[in-house]
Homo-oligomer: A and B are copies of this chain.
Amino acid sequence: MQNFEQFLLDNLPQSQSIHPHYESALQNMLQAGGKRFRPALLLSVVKAYNPLMLDSARHGALAIELLHTYSLIHDDLPAMDDSPLRRGNPTLHVVYDEVTAILVGDALNTYAFEVLSKAPLSDEVKIKLIRELAQNGGLNGMVLGQAIDCYFENRPLQLEDIKTLHTNKTAKLIAASLKMGAIIAGHEDVAEKLYDFGIQLGLLFQIQDDILDVTQSSEEAGKLTNNDEDKNSFVTILGLDEALREANVLADALTEQMCSFDESLQRELSPILTKYINRHKGN
């Protein structure tokens, strides 16, 4: 992922104008690190099936990271989670102001599609990627999830509805990362299987996030923790023990599902999943 990190830094959004901090605000959250989990997933599929496409694939990985980053900036806004910390740094509306945070989020959302439209890939592939990113990151994907999350704050949901919430808010973009990798690699035969796997993986990722929220300090997490009391989290509904059990069951199921994948894909995905699947165990 060192290569991707460098690629991201080489392709930061640029804008020279009379506005004194617009460009640095655009770049701020992208430079602040982050797990780059979604790019890693996309690139692992490309590496497994068509390593020659890796250079081109970085554009797709960047687009996903841009969409993910805009969503964090908007989720942290005072009107939503009102979070002071993200990726170990003050959030954008704290460093600058609310206007800047809203506009930078808007700009990164659009920029994700600009990056895809200019990627060194065929028009056919680019259109498929844009459709996938928009469908999963948009009004019936990530944005819907956030809308449900905010609306039902202080209104307890049933477990099934919490799964719907996080399928949209978190899992669909993770699933799209894997599917977009398959599209770029020219292996659409595995696209749907990977997408389904990604949805499960996204749910596991979220359960772990909810667990870490109550077990980690803010310093460890790089963001405000113990912040989900009024939220519909897996821990608030299931309790910590049951959430941990659910995470382990899901992790085992994913590990088993992995065995049906092509060997090259298993080899690439394994280290990424091991790293994230074990997050809640403190690794």
Contact = CB atoms under 8 A, between A and B. Distances in A.
Nearest to A139: B107
Given A74-B102, A79-B99, A134-B117, A17 B150 contact: no
Main secondary structure of the interface of A (DSSP, over half): helix
Interface in A96-127: 97-100, 102-103, 105-111, 113-114, 116-118, 122-124, 126-127
A80 B140 CA distance: 27
A38 to B, nearest CB: 16
A143 B108 CA distance: 10
A24 interface: no
A106 B15 contact: no
B135 A114 contact: yes
Contact of A18 (B122, B138, B161): B161
Given A19-B151, A143-B110, A123 B127 contact: yes
B127 A117 contact: yes
A108 B103 CA distance: 15
Given A77-B102, A164-B17, A139 B113 contact: no
Nearest to A158: B18
Contacts of A18: 148, 152, 157, 161, 164
A22 interface: yes
Nearest to A131: B117
Nearest to A18: B161
A44 interface: no
Number of copies: 2
Interface string A7-40: 0000001010111101000100000000000000
Nearest to A137: B110
Contact of A103 (B114, B116, B143): B143
A95 interface: no
A146 interface: yes
A43 interface: no
A130 interface: yes
A61 interface: no
B103 A146 contact: yes
Nearest to A143: B107
A147 interface: yes
A110 B126 contact: no
A41 to B, nearest CB: 20
A144 interface: yes
Interface in A188-234: none
Given A13-B139, A17-B164, A107-B138, 18 more contacts: A17-B148, A18-B161, A74-B102, A74-B106, A77-B102, A79-B97, A80-B99, A99-B151, A103-B150, A105-B106, A106-B143, A107-B144, A110-B134, A113-B113, A113-B130, A114-B138, A116-B130, A118-B131
